[in-house]
Every structure is written in structure tokens, then in C-alpha cells.
Amino acid sequence: MELETHRAPRIAIIGAGWAGLAAAVRAQQAGCAVTLFEAARQAGGRARSVPLAGGEVLDSGQHVLLGAYTHTLALLRALGMQQERVFLRAPLALRYADGSGLALPALPAPLHALAGIAAARGWRWGERWALLRAAARWQRAGFACEDSASVEQLGAGLPPRLIADFIEPLCISALNTPLPQASAAVFLRVLRKALCRRAASDVLLPRAPLGEVLPAPALRFLAAHGATLHLGQRVQALHWRQPHWLVAGQAFDAVLLATDAPSAARLVQRAALGAPPALAAELRRWQRAAAALEMRPITCVYACVEAAAARRLPPMLVLHSGVEAPAQFVFNRAAIAGKTDGRADGTCVLAFVISASSGERAWEERQTLAQAQAQLGLHAQPLHTHCERRATFACTPALLRPPQRIAPALLACGDYVAGPYPATLEGAVMNGNAAATAALQSAPFRSSAGVVQW
């Protein structure tokens, strides 16, 4: 689209997570004057690098991308990131330490899924046929179901082993919500998106620290193109002074809230206090929807094992999880990075991921180390345990998520905004792009530069 202009539109983006960075890059590309505010001193939000006291850099959890993350991969390409350098890419494999489980071969879709199910190790033929029949039934229904259905109801009638070894790992990793409370409609949309193309189901594991994957190149791009960056500056309030929003004493044509849902709800609630009655009512409606979301933690236990022991582990394994065994996945970070020699002390780092975490960090760390011994035969030493307490929202059936539009020229972007998918990096980037586009389309911005290309 083309907009005739007298000046560049002034856009404020509050929050430099993946949604905020995506929105900032999109707005900067469209010719806006972008100002980015971030309360932390580093960008990345809930998918960022975490430097340890000794100088080692870990992440705020072990993140996994899929080949279906088209918006995220397009953004990284636009920033000059080479996929093969940034990620280890491999076909989806939900394998356990004993070799059982599912692995998708390099065949065209949907043959890759059918062949993977047929060749699943450790499954009886009756179990394989049961999943094939269920998959055919879901496909005939267009991978759709009633909004009120749970994943537990979706899997009713399937053999217990399929639930434990296939449905549950996928649901927990994608929706971060236990099966009885997880939305079957969202789960089916994730399956459809991941299985529509063979490459879409590929797993992409970051080789580099998360800060180098998106935050650092995005900040370099923004700085090089004239954006104003305020890291370490928390925005305490928004004020409406028609026709502008005031942020930190500056007037903006549009404001995008790219914080987590609770922080956005607090800012909107404060903005309503001094707003005109009609605007205040609009702000409070959105605030109630955002505040009603139930936030869930994800915990990642980083532990060290002898390099010789780590060499026998693939980049990713599924773990048998339960009350006393909280981790669902383990990732061999040395294998992902292609550094099998390990660290200087002769050890390698494993990342144990606990989705739908209880948030009891010390207890989960102890239980995870015991789980590593029992299921992998590894004596692991704790290195660092990170609990991201607002990692995701509970993705429950018929959930009413807050809309993108909060009020005139005030929009929300984040993985929690109303949309088809659960809380993922792809959802964050997709919503960041959409919010930036909507901000540009919401008013006839004018600039002396002439034309803004979109």
C-alpha cells in the first residue's frame, strides 16, 4: 500500500521481546520514526540470552522452532541471518532413550507422517492403526473441532501408549497446558500447520545463544536505520492527549504494547484513569480480557555431564514425565552446536525442559537430576535453573484472548493476542508484524518524505 505523507509516522513500541522487535523492524521498513522502549537492559523478552557469573551464556529456556515458522524465518532472512548457521535443522523425531517413539522420514507430505506412524518403534500394530485412523478422521474434519473440546477428549479412545508417547509430548510442548485443560481446537491447528508440508514439521534448534538469533541483529538493523532505542527504561504510564498518545513525555501517532499480558494490562488500566469516559471504557474492556489470562511458568534445568557420556545422546530426546519426573524433553547443547568435545572442564551442557512447570525451582531441579539418572543413566551436576514465570498463557478450550486493538492508535502485539495458535515465537513475530501493519493502516499518516512503501 502507499500512503502520501508530510512526515514520518511516530510509532512507540513498548517491549523488545520477539513481538516488539518484529513490529519495530516492520515499522522501520515502512518508513516510520520508531522509538523502542524496553525495561530490561537486554532485548529478547522471554526468549533471550542469560549470562552467568563465570561468563558462560545460556538462554532463558531451551527454545525450539519449526519449519512452519514462516514469519519468524522470513524476519531472520530480512535481517541477513543464514538459517544453516543459526539453526540445526532435522526432521521431527519424538524418540525416547531406549529408541522407541516416532520419527518422520524425508518424504513428501502427508506420506512422511503416515510412514513415520507406520514405522514407529515400540508401538504395536494396533496402536499404529489407531493413530492412523485418528489422523485420517482429523484430516477429513479439516483439523477442526468444537472450541469447547479438550485434548484429553480429542484423544479419547486412543491406546494409552499413544497418549503418553505422542499426544502428550506434542501438546505439552506446543500448548504448555496439561491435556485435560488444553484446547483441542488449537492443538489440531498446530498439527495442521506442522504437517501441511514435509519441511514444516522440521525441528530447528538454535546453535547460537538466543540473543544472537534475533535480538542482536534486530537492534543492529534498527540502530542503523535511525530508530531510537531505550533499553533499561521502563514505561510507567500512557496518557491520551488527542490526537496523540504520550509515552515518557513524547507524543506518538501510535503505540504498540509488546510486553507480556500482565504488564500490558497494568499499563492500560493506568491509562484509563485519566482518559475521557468513552475511551476509558474501551481501555478497561481490553484490560479485563488481558488480566483474565492465566500465565504459566516454564522451567529449564541446565546440567553438566561428562563429555564422553553426552556423545551418545542425540540433540533432542523425549523423557517419560510424571509427578516425580517433571521434565518432558532433554536437549544436548553440545550436539546442537556441533561441539562434541564439550567445555574446557570436559563436560557438556544438557537442557531439561519442564513445560507446564509448577514454578518450584529447587524441587524441580532435584527431581530432574534424579530423572536424568533413572532414565538416561547420567550423573548430572546442576549448572543453572531458569524459571520463566510468565512464559506462556494456559491455552484452554474456548479461551477469549484479548484483541489486537486496544483503543484508537493503541494496539497490542504478543503471543497472547487473539489468534489461531498458542504462545510461540512464531505467534509473537506474526502478531508483531500484524500490529505494525494495523498501526500504519489506522490513520492517514503524512510526511515530507513523500510515500511510505508497505
Percent of the chain with pLDDT over 90: 86
Average pLDDT, the chain: 92
Whether the CB-CB separation of 109 and 192 falls below 8 Å is answered with: no
Q: Is the pLDDT of residue 3 over 50?
A: no
In whole angstroms, what is the distance from residue 401 CA to residue 405 CA?
12
- Is residue 452 over pLDDT 80? no
Region of poorest pLDDT, from 128-137, 148-157, 335-344, 413-422 = 335-344
Q: pLDDT grade, residue 301 (50/70/90)? A: very high
Pull the grid cell for residue 248.
515518557
- Respond yes or no on whether the N-terminal peptide bond of residue 110 is cis (omega within 30° of 0): yes
pLDDT at position 1: 40
**Residue 6 pLDDT grade (very low, low, confident, very high; cuts 50, 70, 90):** low
SS3 355: coil
- Averaged pLDDT for residues 344-355: 94
In order of 67, 81, 184, 206, 435, the CA distances from 399 in angstroms are: 27, 35, 11, 31, 21
What pLDDT score does 256 carry? Answer: 98
Higher pLDDT, 449 or 224: 224
Q: Mean per-residue pLDDT for 148-165? A: 95
pLDDT in tens, 250-282: 999 999 999 999 999 999 999 999 899 999 999
Q: What are the tens digits of pLDDT across the range 95-106?
A: 999 999 999 998
Question: Which residue has 489486537 as its cell numbers?
Answer: 404
pLDDT surpasses 60 at 446 = no
Q: Which residues pair with 45 in a beta bridge?
A: none
Answer whether residue 208 shows pLDDT above 50.
yes
- Going by their DSSP bridges, the two strands 250-252 and 93-95 should be labelled as unpaired
Instruction: Provide Rg for the chain, Cα atoms.
Output: 23
State the pLDDT confidence band at 210, using cuts at 50, 70 and 90: very high
Separation of alpha carbons 446 and 435, rounded Å: 19
Of 253, 279, 252, give the one whose Cα is nearest residue 268: 279
Q: What are phi and psi of 34, to 5 degrees?
A: -100, 135
Question: What are phi and psi for residue 299, nearest 5 degrees?
Answer: -115, 140
C-alpha cell at 427: 505467534
Average pLDDT over residues 367-377: 98
Grid cell listed for 272:
484509563
Answer yes or no: are the C-beta atoms of 390 and 362 closer than 8 Å.
no
